[in-house]
Amino acid sequence: MSAGFAQLAAATGVALPDPSKHVNYTLGMLLGVDDFNQEFAYLSGRDKWMARDVVGYGTLCGMKLSLDSTAQGPRISVSCGTALSPRGQLICLHPAQCAFLKDWLAANQAAVFGAVGSPPGSVLNLWLVVCYRHCPVDPVPIAGEPCRSAADLMAPSRLVDDFRLEFRLVAPEQQEEDAVRDFVAWLDQIQVTDAPGYFPTLDQFVSALRAALVPASPLDAGAYFQTGSPLTGIHVHPAQVGDYLRAAFRIWVTEIRPLFHAITPPQACACTGDLPAAPPADECLLLAEVEVPVINIGPGQNWVVDDKNPVAIDESRRPILLHTRMLQEWIQSGLVGGV
């Protein structure tokens, strides 16, 4: 489902540029390939850092999923669109893409056999993700030693943005996305009212928030915060909502988000110092979970789509990013609804 370009393998033994450094040019300094690569790494790294830390990640526009039946079996299509990856990379998917589940099963029989096993008829859970990549283009002649092969006479002069769509048998890591949802769900339990009830002090509220975080290693998706009683009995007076929300968001930013967010750039942000431990960020963005009914039509690895049962697409865990203009209009609406 990708554009079909293959990336060039990185040269072994060559250190990658440090995105926390940029070139300090001095008059008379000779600039080489490493210097240009270093400056690009710094500028590109800061763009990704800004996007990832300030905005987040998710689908920005388009990338609508659709499922239809064809003579070749079920087909999943993804429309053109844009997204921001968990590493802060902008992904442009164009043109629209499609994949036939029958062809994917035929090409991945061994993996399917290991994932499904028995009984002979079951449901295979696939995770559709979109990833950023680049591919080399526009070859130009390069200078070098004589008596070179034809392959050594040319080298790509540009790297063009590209994408990759793939099915996975394991869900991608998106701990921060799951934690954001759980954190907001925890806050939603708080009752904003002036009716009689338990009104905790600000310090008690902050302590309850810290205590609700489930200390698990590794962190378990869907169980980051304890919910239910006694949290449902906490009341906050409308006049104090701002103070309590500021405290909650401060705890989220300074204490909770670092547990789930891979710090960017990966190098220590100082001239000296150790790199702080942080969870790794997945490079790909989840689009949907696809439930594929499969059946084994013979001995061994002979898995095919079970045409008697429907394929299901679940986008409930898909990260979505609303642009600022939409949020502005939504906030200004006052949520009056039909009042």
DSSP letters, 145-180, are -SS--GGGSEEEEEEEEEEEEEEESSPPP-HHHHHH
**pTM, to two decimals:** 0.82
Q: Are residues 171 and 127 in contact, defined by beta-carbon separation less than 8 angstroms?
A: yes
Q: Residue with structure tokens 């290693």?
A: 217
The count of C-alpha atoms lying within 13 angstroms of the C-alpha of 141, restricted to the half-sphere facing its C-beta, is 3
Q: What is the pLDDT of residue 333?
A: 79
User: How do the domains of the chain map onto residue ranges?
Assistant: 33-171, 175-260
Region of 23 please: left (phi>0), alpha (psi -120 to 50) or beta. beta
The count of C-alpha atoms lying within 13 angstroms of the C-alpha of 144, restricted to the half-sphere facing its C-beta, is 12
pLDDT at residue 6 is higher than 50:
no
Q: Are residues 95 and 79 in contact, defined by beta-carbon separation less than 8 angstroms?
A: no
Q: What is the pLDDT of residue 114?
A: 82
Least confident of 97-106, 118-127, 287-296: 118-127
| Residue 37 burial (CB count, 10 A) | 14
290 vs 258: which has the higher pLDDT: 290
Mean pLDDT of 119-132: 87
Average of per-residue pLDDT values in the chain = 83
Residues 6+ apart with CB under 8 A from 34: 17
Rounded CA separation 226/233 (Å):
14
Q: What is the pLDDT of residue 212?
A: 85
Backbone angles phi, psi at 298, to 5 degrees: -170, 180
At residue 62 the predicted structure's pLDDT band, cuts being 50, 70 and 90, is very high
Q: What is the pLDDT of residue 305?
A: 93
At residue 4 the predicted structure's pLDDT band, cuts being 50, 70 and 90, is very low
pLDDT at residue 10 is higher than 50:
no
CA distances from 109 to 69, 81, 117, 159, 296 (A): 22, 31, 11, 34, 10
Q: What is the pLDDT of residue 63?
A: 97
Encode 158-180: b = buried (16+ Cβ within 10 Å), e = exposed.
eeeebbbbebeeeebbbbbbbbb
Q: What is the pLDDT of residue 80?
A: 96
At residue 293 the predicted structure's pLDDT band, cuts being 50, 70 and 90, is very high
At residue 69 the predicted structure's pLDDT band, cuts being 50, 70 and 90, is very high
Q: What is the pLDDT of residue 9?
A: 38
At residue 339 the predicted structure's pLDDT band, cuts being 50, 70 and 90, is very low
Region of 178 please: left (phi>0), alpha (psi -120 to 50) or beta. alpha
